[in-house]
Amino acid sequence: MTTPATTPVTLLALDTSSEGCSAALLVNGQVYERFELAPRGHTRLLMPMVRELLAEQGLAPSDLDALAFACGPGSFTGLRIATGVVQGLAFGLEVPVVPVSSLAAVAAEVCDAQHCSEGDGVAVAFDARMGEVYWGCFRNNHGRPVALAEERVCAPEMVTLAEGPARWHGVGSGWGYQEQIPGGVTAAVEGVDTALVPRARYVALLAASDFLDGKGVPAAKAQPVYLRNTVAWQKLPGR
């Protein structure tokens, strides 16, 4: 996946929406990333990643045009970490924030792969706990994912594929519920990768286009997207 060849953008992207923790810096069309699988290490790792990326490119935070983050759906705690960091930076720097769907970020990595052809569909499922999945359907449009339906949270038995693509790829931890997913859906999917998680690299690439399209928001409006009712999350022990 390549960035738009128009206005150069210097953008910092963050992702802590899953067990992965990552930061990415987009400079002159190139993406530099730090990534680590660390389910309980987001708070410890995120800011050192940011500082390392900026230092390696000889940049100061004031050189950034925009910030981006994977806004969800995903881990409740993880989403709050990225949201808090990106809001704090954006308030101080007075730059816009571009929220990017975590499901779309994973779909973007699949669209960028050689085995995913133009027009293919990508069905992303994250494990939402409580016997449910976060579900999103996308189409590969020149290496970029285009949402074909609203993202939702539902039981695995309730997922459906959007109309259009003749060939589908399944990705995300929610495909661990494959035995509960309707047979018509699993039959249409040619391959499944349950290990892929969102990465800041793809958050940055998707955010660059959105930023140039004027889709950045002020810091106060950079909010996580849970899909599930926030009150329900608050009632869960230990969440």
Q: Residue 7's pLDDT is what?
A: 67
Q: Does 206 lie in the same domain as 180?
A: no
- In this predicted structure, the answer to whether residue 84 has a pLDDT above a threshold of 60 is yes
CATH (domain of 188): 3.30.420.40
For the stretch 93-124, pLDDT in tens is 999 999 999 999 999 999 999 999 999 999 99
Q: Does 27 lie in the same domain as 49?
A: yes
Question: Residue 223's Cα: distance from chain center in Å?
Answer: 14
Residue 2 lies in a domain: no
As a whole number of Å, the CA-based R_g of the chain is: 17
Residue 3 lies in a domain: no
Residue 204 lies in a domain: yes
Question: Is cis: bond before 218, omega within 30 of 0?
Answer: no
Residue 30 lies in a domain: yes
Q: Does 82 lie in the same domain as 64?
A: yes
Single pTM value for the model: 0.93
Q: Does 147 lie in the same domain as 112?
A: yes
Q: Does 188 lie in the same domain as 204?
A: no
Domain finish residue from 177, 193, 209: 193
Q: Residue 236's pLDDT is what?
A: 31
Q: Any idea what the Cα angle at residue 72 is, between residues 66 and 76, rounded to 5°?
A: 120
Q: Does 188 lie in the same domain as 131?
A: yes
Domain count for the chain, please give it: 2
User: Letter for the amino acid at 141?
Assistant: N
Question: Residue 5's Cα: distance from chain center in Å?
Answer: 22
Q: Any idea what the Cα angle at residue 5 is, between residues 89 and 10, rounded to 5°?
A: 15
Which domain range does residue 32 map to? 11-102+198-234
